[in-house]
Each structure stands twice: as C-alpha cells, then as structure tokens.
Amino acid sequence: MRYMIICCLLMLCIVGGQSTLAAAPDKSLNEPSPTVMTKVISHVSKDAVTGVEKIRVVFETSGPVKINSSISASPSPRLTVNVKGAGRGSVPDTLDFDGNIINKVSVIEREDGSSTLLVDIPTLLGDGDYRVFTLRNDPSANRPYRIVIDINKPVPPVVYNFTPGLKDKVIAVDAGHGGSDPGAIGLSGVYEKSITLAVAGKVKKLLEKAGSQVIMTRETDCDIAGRNASDVAELGGRTAIANNNKADVFLSIHTNSFTDRTVGGSAVYFTQKSMYDLLLAQSLDSALMQNSKFKDRGVSRGNLYLTKYSLMPAALIEMAFISNPSEEKLLQSPAVQQQIAQNIVNGLECFFAEAAKRGGG
C-alpha cells in the first residue's frame, strides 16, 4: 500500500501537481503495514530466437519476500510456490488462465501471514521449463518488489505411428534459397543456393534407392513462388509443398554464414511442434558427425519459418559455414557433398527406427 501511495505521489508530480491526493488512502502512511501482494499481471511472449512460447506471471508485493518452489505430478500437475512474508492482500484467491500453459492459479493465505501459490498446469514440467524468482524493488523506475513465475509452453503430446525404415516414406527435401535469392555467398563467390541444390539432389537419389518417395521443393535454380513474389510466398511455398504432399518428414538444407570467418561447423535447427522434431534434429546431427570434416555445433531450437509452419517433424540443416574459406572449399567438393547426403539419409533412418519405438504402438 505504501508503495501505491509513493507511486501516486510520483505520478502526481509527473501529471503536473494536481491536488487530487484525496484519491489515495492516507491512513496507512505512517503505520507499518504487513507485506502483502498488491497486484498480479501475466504476459505471454514468444522467444525471438528459440520460438518457444512462455508465460510470465508477476505478483507484486509491498515488501521483500522469500520464496521456494516445487513441482508435483499428482493428483494433477502442479507448481507450488511458497511465499514467506506476504499475505494475499488485494490479489484474488483464484486466477483463471486459458489452459495453454497454465490452467489456474490459487492464492492461499496462511495464518502466519505467508501465502502459497498453487499453479495448476496442463502437463508436468521439466526442470528447464520453468523458473521462479524474486526481483527487488526499484523506486527510480517505479517498480515494486516482485515474485516472477516463468513457464514455457509444454511440447504438444502429438503421437505419430512411424514404422522403421525408409521404404515408402514420403520425404520432403528443400534445397535452401534459389533463383533470385542466392542465400549466403562465400569469400570466393560460391552461392549457398548452388551447394544446397547439389546436396539435396544427392539426398534424393539415395532416398529413392532406399525406397522413399521424395518431394523436392525445387530441382533447378529457381524461386519457388516466382521472381517477384513476397518472402511469405517464397517460404510458404516450400512448407505448402511438404504439407500438401503429406510428407512424413521435412528437411531444409542450408549453408551457414557469420561475420567472423573463422567460425565453422554444422548445426541442426528445429521447432518443437512435437517430441519428434527434437528426435529428428538429434538423429540428423549425430549422423552428420560421421566421417565429418566439420565440427559439431549441435542441435538448437530455432524460431524458423520452415520448421515452424511445416505440419510434420522438420529440421533445418546448416551443413557448414560458407563464410569460412576452408569450409566453403569443402562444401564444393562432390565427395564431401556425397558424404553429407549419405549422413542425412542415415540420420533419417535412425530417426524412423527410434520414432517407431516411441510412437503409437
């Protein structure tokens, strides 16, 4: 409450010193009042880099508090936050959410002036999927003491009935960029779009030999949606080809680039639409490291259009850095391209073997 008054006073100065102080209850100005929660605010945001959606719930308190938290699975998934040193104050005892990340938060006040926050969640959270912490007040920025709860959106529990093996699988293969878009350009002038097309063609041949049906987004040096199409149409055209053909898996093949030309290595990006996206990325990444000329930069969640808007498990492979002169040279070698293509196909085979074990059955 005291904070509110200070805040009001500050506001009044800013607004221009109108004498409307009567709005603030002046009774508690000189009395020490117990610490309580004064406000609760929530905010959903999407991580710009990983694409992970998260909710932040902030409980403002009139003074500092101590907290601890724990996760329990039964009777239903719940995050419990014990708040030592603050009563419920003016915060409602039940806060309803849309069930996307949080179903409901109950605020229970204890007799000793402490509280417990019961956060009901749709599915159990892993350790890395949430954090609970406090923030100190900052009067100069008009910010009170706060309890912050961050929770990531859980991975949707989608189940595919994949069988092992590559035979009769529909694989959509996207050679990155093309036509009016050269992609990244190496120091000696090699275009990303040429390398990706060469490797995608080799992947196609190997997959067809293994009995897969391959859908290519492009087989020549062309734009997918026409020369003057928008960037939405160009990327949307690629995912539409995979989606319309009901591909089992979508792969987009690229070469990476960075200003520091010593940076190198291969990387696999995915968007976690289901648990299969991570599995696909991991399978490809470990296969890519077989007899590899490039170091492993690992798998990462990425806020990438192609992996996000494809309806099936998808991965974007950055084979190596075309900006790194020695990797640029290697990327042009047909033998290296063949090895990468073989590794990609092996990675897909590993993916279906593992997915068959996990999915459906």
Partner 1 sequence: MMQMGQRIGSLLVLIILSALLITACGLDTGKNSTPGASSKPAEQTVDPAKTPGSGIEGKQVVVYFPTRDAMYLMPENRKILPGQDPMRSSIEILLSGPENQDVVAIAPQGTVLRSISVKENIAYVDFNHAIIKNNPGGSTTELLLVGAIVNTLTEFPDISGVRILVEGKQVQTLTGHVDVSGVLGRSEEIIKKRK
C-alpha 329/C-alpha 195 separation (Å) is 11
**Is omega for the bond preceding 75 within 30 degrees of 0, making it cis?**
yes
Of 213-221, 277-285, 300-308, 342-350, which part binds partner 1 (CB under 8 A)?
300-308
> How wide is the angle at C-alpha 163 spanned by C-alphas 158 and 169, nearest 5°?
95
C-alpha 237/C-alpha 241 separation (Å) is 6
Q: Which is nearer to Zn ion, 3 or 309 (CB)?
A: 309
Decide: is 231 part of the binding site for partner 1 (CB under 8 A).
yes
**For 4, which DSSP code?**
H
Contacted entry of Zn ion, partner 1, none for residue 180, CB cut-off 5 to 8 Å set by kind: none
Of 4-12, 113-121, 162-170, 199-207, which part binds partner 1 (CB under 8 A)?
4-12
Decide: is 74 part of the binding site for partner 1 (CB under 8 A).
no
Which residues inside 250-309 make contact with Zn ion, applying CB under 5 A? Answer: 254
Decide: is 176 part of the binding site for Zn ion (CB under 5 A).
yes
Residue type, 221: D
Tokens (6 digits) for 10: 């500050």
Binding residues for partner 1, how many (CB under 8 A)? 90
C-alpha 187/C-alpha 257 separation (Å) is 11
- In the complex, least distance from residue 166 CB atom to partner 1, rounded to whole angstroms: 26
Decide: is 78 part of the binding site for Zn ion (CB under 5 A).
no
Q: Which is nearer to partner 1, 35 or 212 (CB)?
A: 35
Of 104-112, 114-122, 132-140, 201-209, which part binds partner 1 (CB under 8 A)?
132-140
Burial class, 149, CB count within 10 angstroms (exposed 0-12 / middle 13-18 / buried 19+): buried
Q: Which is nearer to Zn ion, 87 or 178 (CB)?
A: 178
The DSSP element (H or E) to which 282 belongs, if any, is helix 275-288
Q: Of the candidates 1, 107, 184, 348, which one interacts with partner 1 according to CB under 8 A?
A: 184
Q: Give the sheet arrangement for strand 213-216, strand by strand.
A: 213-216, 170-175, 249-256, 314-321, 266-270, 296-301
Residue showing tokens 């073989």: 342
SS3 196: helix
Which residues inside 33-72 make contact with partner 1, applying CB under 8 A? Answer: 39, 41, 43, 45-52, 54, 56, 58, 60, 65-71
- In the complex, least distance from residue 334 CB atom to partner 1, rounded to whole angstroms: 23
Which residues contact Zn ion by CB under 5 A? 176, 183, 254
